[in-house]
């Protein structure tokens, strides 16, 4: 199948945080259309590709107008062909000229267009004729850090994930139960709880870390006895946000404690052991490859040690991490690198190197389901998307629809 581009349009729209982004729309010669608007992060890794061109969102809009001329009559029959053209259009190695809001907008809009024109689901356009097992949803239920103005717990996210769900529907609906239980228990135990939630829809509490973990474990235990689904608990420390480059300490604003590298390592290991945690993301800042290796060694392979800011979906960083055994899992966020094919290759190099793949949303999301297709296309092990808020639910709903339409192929097992 060959798709011929007729027109590329860009509109300034807003993400779930109300920050501007660009909705890219591509129309083909045969009159089909594909669309996408890129999400944005708040705890952004310093090695991420830049989201915007030099002159900001207005500059990005102008670049899409330029893309309209560049891509007029351009034909492609694979996603890689289209993405290579975006790279040529940018002219550099990492979308510094056009920004990832434009590059990923173009790339996912092209994937959407091709799957519409070809009448195939987007995950098959990206990943080929595969029958993927569904990823395990991993959901932020209690949040702090930068996503909650540093006024809640210092840990950015406490996450839950079902371990023995029979289908994605079973996995997602039982996760929603945990999410609801957490708010019930917060209403009972946190007298300042007003039902407040953070950017990603996770509950925000004024309780201590200790009490927060108790609430999450109690919620998980109750759901297990009610519906029979067992859960694991995870954390995203988002340590690059805690790290002070000048004084070389991790600053815990809420608890008023500073930890140097060694103290941080011991603190994380204790936290994991004490609270029976099976998933720990960014336990250290984005430059500490040896620290990640050491923590993985100490925790063993039963605990996923996951790099987000460390890897930024970048193939060379992932390859380095695999050779150093810096963790055993990687976060994949398409807007960290800026196109679908590079994201696909990054997750393939991770899984070929024995790392688990966690496809993830951003805290500022847009109302598109495309990330769900990407997760299936790369045969991701986990799908890190909060359980509520429309821009997140649309992604879970997409997986539910695919499951209903084509039948369940079960959910991944890691533990």
What are the residues binding ligand PGA (CB under 6 A)? 41-44, 236, 238, 308, 360, 362-363
Q: How far apart are CA 229 and CA 331, in angstroms?
A: 25
Which among 358, 363, 398, 365 has a CA at the least distance from the CA of 380? Answer: 358
Q: Is there a contact between 143 and 200 (Cβ–Cβ < 8 Å)? A: yes
Q: How far apart are CA 91 and CA 107, in angstroms?
A: 16
DSSP string, 120-184: S-HHHHHH-S--PPBPEEEEEEEE-GGGGTT-S-SSSEEEEEESS-SSHHHHHHHHHHHHHHHHH
Least Å distance between CB 308 and ligand PGA?
5
Q: Binding segment for Zn ion among 220-228, 234-242, 251-259, 397-405 (CB under 5 A)?
A: 234-242
Least Å distance between CB 14 and ligand PGA?
16
Helices (H), 228-302: 239-242, 261-274, 289-299
Q: Which two tokens stand for residue 252?
A: 């815990």
Q: Binding segment for Zn ion among 54-62, 95-103, 276-284, 287-295 (CB under 5 A)?
A: 276-284
Residue nearest to Zn ion (CB): 308
Cβ proximity to ligand PGA: between 82 and 161 the closer is: 161
10 Å CB burial of residue 359 (0-12, 13-18, 19+) is buried
Helix (H) or strand (E) holding 301: none
Task: State yes or no: residue 200 binds Zn ion (CB under 5 A).
Answer: no
Q: Which of 117, 199, 286, 308 binds Zn ion (CB under 5 A)?
A: 308
Q: Binding segment for Zn ion among 93-101, 140-148, 231-239, 381-389 (CB under 5 A)?
A: 231-239
Name the binder of 48 from ligand PGA, Zn ion, none, CB < 5-8 A by kind. Answer: none
Task: State yes or no: residue 199 binds Zn ion (CB under 5 A).
Answer: no
Name the binder of 403 from Zn ion, ligand PGA, none, CB < 5-8 A by kind. Answer: none
Q: Is there a contact between 147 and 199 (Cβ–Cβ < 8 Å)? A: yes
Which among 80, 88, 64 has a CA at the least distance from the CA of 7? Answer: 64
The residue from 23, 177, 200, 379 that is catalytic is 200
Least Å distance between CB 311 and ligand PGA?
12
Q: Is there a contact between 198 and 147 (Cβ–Cβ < 8 Å)? A: yes
Least Å distance between CB 190 and Zn ion?
25
Cβ neighbors of 88 (< 8 A, separation 6 or more) are none
Q: Binding segment for Zn ion among 62-70, 96-104, 303-311, 380-388 (CB under 5 A)?
A: 303-311
Cβ neighbors of 62 (< 8 A, separation 6 or more) are none
Least Å distance between CB 386 and Zn ion?
13
Least Å distance between CB 37 and Zn ion?
21
The residue from 87, 333, 384, 412 that is catalytic is 333
Residue nearest to ligand PGA (CB): 41
Name the binder of 362 from Zn ion, ligand PGA, none, CB < 5-8 A by kind. Answer: ligand PGA
Q: Is there a contact between 408 and 171 (Cβ–Cβ < 8 Å)? A: no
Q: How far apart are CA 333 and CA 132, in angstroms?
A: 19
Is 200 a residue of the active site? Answer: yes
Task: State yes or no: residue 112 binds Zn ion (CB under 5 A).
Answer: no
Name the binder of 98 from ligand PGA, Zn ion, none, CB < 5-8 A by kind. Answer: none
Q: Which of 15, 23, 154, 236 binds Zn ion (CB under 5 A)?
A: 236
- Buried residues in 325-358 as b, exposed as e (16+ CB within 10 A): bbbbbbbbbbbbbbbbbbbbbbbbbbeeeebbbb
Task: State yes or no: residue 339 binds Zn ion (CB under 5 A).
Answer: no
Q: How far apart are CA 395 and CA 362, in angstroms?
A: 12
Least Å distance between CB 360 and ligand PGA?
6
Cβ proximity to Zn ion: between 236 and 288 the closer is: 236
Is 333 a residue of the active site? Answer: yes
Cβ proximity to ligand PGA: between 28 and 366 the closer is: 366
Cβ proximity to ligand PGA: between 117 and 236 the closer is: 236
Cβ proximity to Zn ion: between 127 and 307 the closer is: 307
- Site of interaction with Zn ion (CB under 5 A): 236, 281, 308
Q: Kindly list the catalytic residues.
A: 200, 333
């Amino acid at each position: 199948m060959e798709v011929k581009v007729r027109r590329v349009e860009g509109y300034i729209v807003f993400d779930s945080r109300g920050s501007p982004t660009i909705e890219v729309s591509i129309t083909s010669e045969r009159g089909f259309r594909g669309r996408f608007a890129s999400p944005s992060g708040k705890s952004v890794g310093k090695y991420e590709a830049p989201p915007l061109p030099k002159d900001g969102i207005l500059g990005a809009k102008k670049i899409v107008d330029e893309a309209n001329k560049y891509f007029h009559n351009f034909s492609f029959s694979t996603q890689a062909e289209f993405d290579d053209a975006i790279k040529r259009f940018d002219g550099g190695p990492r979308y510094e000229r056009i920004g990832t809001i434009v590059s990923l907008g173009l790339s996912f809009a092209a994937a959407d267009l091709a799957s519409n024109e070809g009448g195939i689901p987007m995950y098959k356009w990206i990943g080929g004729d595969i029958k993927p097992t569904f990823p395990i949803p991993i959901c932020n239920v209690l949040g702090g850090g930068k996503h909650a103005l540093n006024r809640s717990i210092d840990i950015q996210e406490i996450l839950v994930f079902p371990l023995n769900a029979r289908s994605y529907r079973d996995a997602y609906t039982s996760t929603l139960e945990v999410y609801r239980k957490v708010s019930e228990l917060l209403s009972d135990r946190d007298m300042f709880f007003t039902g407040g939630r953070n950017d990603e829809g996770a509950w925000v509490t004024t309780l201590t870390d200790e009490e927060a973990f108790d609430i999450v474990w109690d919620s998980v235990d109750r759901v297990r006895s009610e519906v029979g689904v067992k859960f694991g608990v995870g954390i995203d420390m988002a340590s690059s946000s805690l790290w002070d480059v000048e004084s070389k300490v991790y600053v815990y604003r809420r608890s008023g404690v500073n930890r140097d590298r060694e103290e941080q390592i011991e603190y994380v290991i204790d936290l994991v052991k004490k609270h029976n945690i099976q998933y720990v993301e960014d336990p250290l800042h984005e430059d500490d490859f040896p620290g990640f290796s050491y923590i993985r060694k100490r925790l063993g392979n039963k605990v996923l040690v996951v790099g987000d800011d460390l890897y930024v979906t970048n193939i060379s960083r992932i390859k380095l991490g695999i050779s150093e055994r810096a963790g055993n899992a990687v976060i994949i966020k398409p807007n960290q690198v800026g196109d679908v094919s590079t994201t696909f290759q990054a997750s393939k190099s991770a899984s070929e190197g024995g790392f688990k793949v966690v496809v993830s949303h951003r805290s500022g999301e847009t109302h598109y389901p495309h990330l769900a297709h990407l997760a299936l296309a790369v045969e991701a092990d986990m799908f890190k998307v909060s359980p509520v808020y429309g821009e997140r639910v649309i992604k879970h709903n997409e997986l539910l629809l695919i499951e209903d339409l084509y039948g369940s192929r079960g959910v991944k097992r890691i533990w």
